[in-house]
């Protein structure tokens, strides 16, 4: 199988797994301080990444100092800032909006990636328009209902393109599992310390949410992210994120299965238009890495 096909398969697999993340987070993260919850789950994810890197014998790649600064930027732009905003914002909006507002990442990716050497073309432009129109149907469903939680979720996606740029740079020197280990270790420690400084701490909150912490830490922050990074190394940033943005289809299935939220006709239209936009975004082939600014 060609490397790009492997990347596509892994990226879509991750999208399927990731579709459950915002829905389950919205339903199960309300009884523990959000920053503490983010920090603990990310630290657990780092342990999974460490084991993976050890088993694949790639921990030694961490010795290459050229990858240290990119990894620090990855921790900041992909874990610390986005997760901080996401875990707070999801408390103030619905699981449906949480799932679909995360599609904003694709818009910011298409805006930022030309600066990284991934030029925009007709398919990219059509894709962005489709995503924007779909988002409009979603956000203006039965009137304007944008709240602070929605805004925080949109803001949580702004730094992802910069973080993904540095992920690509780090991959030039350090293996994916090792990058993920350091990313989660730095981000998890920072968020836990921040939580102790600004959030009320009760040991009972950890005990009462132990199952949720384990689920999100080992599965959503650990195993699924490894699948994502292994696929990400074979694709350019734009195509990777476009494939990831198919996750609302899987979120929708879960939302309907749970039966606690309904999907309106406007949201159905929004979903369809969004997926058309994503289709055109992924129709293009990945850019040759040698032609990008993250090649070295």
**8 A C-beta contact, residue 153 and residue 98:** yes
At 218, list the tokens: 């080992």
Determine whether 166 is exposed, middle or buried from the number of CB atoms within 10 Å of its CB (0-12, 13-18, 19+). Answer: buried
> Token match 């992920």: residue?
167
Size of the chain in residues: 296
Indicate the pTM of the whole model: 0.83
Q: What is the mean pLDDT of the chain?
A: 85
Q: What residue segments make up the domains of the chain, in order of their start?
A: 3-291
**Taking 80 as the threshold, does the pLDDT of residue 221 lie above it?**
yes
pLDDT at site 252: 72
pLDDT tens, residue by residue, 230-288: 999 999 998 888 888 877 777 777 777 776 667 778 878 888 887 888 788 777 778 88
Largest CA distance in the chain: 55
* Cα–Cα distance, 257 to 89 (Å, whole number): 24
Cα–Cα distances in angstroms (integers) from residue 227 to residues 6, 16, 232, in the given order:
11, 11, 9
């Amino acid at each position: 199988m060609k490397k790009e096909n492997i990347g596509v398969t892994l990226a879509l697999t991750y999208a399927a797994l990731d579709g459950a993340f915002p829905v389950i987070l919205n339903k199960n993260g309300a009884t523990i301080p959000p920053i503490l919850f983010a920090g603990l789950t990310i630290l657990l994810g780092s342990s999974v990444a460490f084991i993976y890197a050890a088993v694949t014998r790639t921990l030694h790649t961490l010795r290459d100092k050229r990858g240290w600064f990119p990894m620090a930027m990855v921790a900041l732009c992909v874990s610390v800032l986005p997760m901080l905003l996401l875990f707070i914002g999801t408390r103030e909006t619905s699981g449906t909006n949480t799932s679909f507002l995360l599609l904003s990442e694709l818009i910011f990716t298409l805006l930022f990636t030309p600066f990284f050497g991934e030029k925009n073309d007709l398919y990219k432009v059509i894709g962005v328009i489709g995503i924007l129109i779909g988002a409009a149907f979603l956000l203006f469903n039965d009137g304007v209902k944008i709240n602070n939680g929605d805004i925080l979720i949109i803001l949580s996606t702004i730094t992802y393109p910069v973080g993904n740029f540095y992920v690509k740079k780090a991959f030039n020197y350090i293996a994916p599992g090792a990058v993920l280990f350091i990313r989660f270790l730095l981000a998890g420690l920072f968020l836990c310390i921040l939580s102790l400084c600004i959030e009320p701490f009760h040991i009972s909150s950890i005990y009462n949410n132990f199952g949720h912490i384990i689920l999100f830490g080992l599965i959503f922050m650990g195993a699924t992210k490894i699948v994502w990074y292994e696929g990400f190394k074979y694709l350019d940033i734009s195509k990777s994120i476009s494939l990831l943005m198919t996750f609302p289809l899987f979120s929708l299935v879960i939302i309907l299965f749970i039966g606690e939220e309904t999907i309106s006709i406007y949201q159905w239209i929004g979903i369809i238009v969004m997926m058309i936009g994503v289709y055109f975004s992924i129709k293009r082939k990945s850019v040759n890495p040698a032609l990008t600014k993250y090649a070295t």
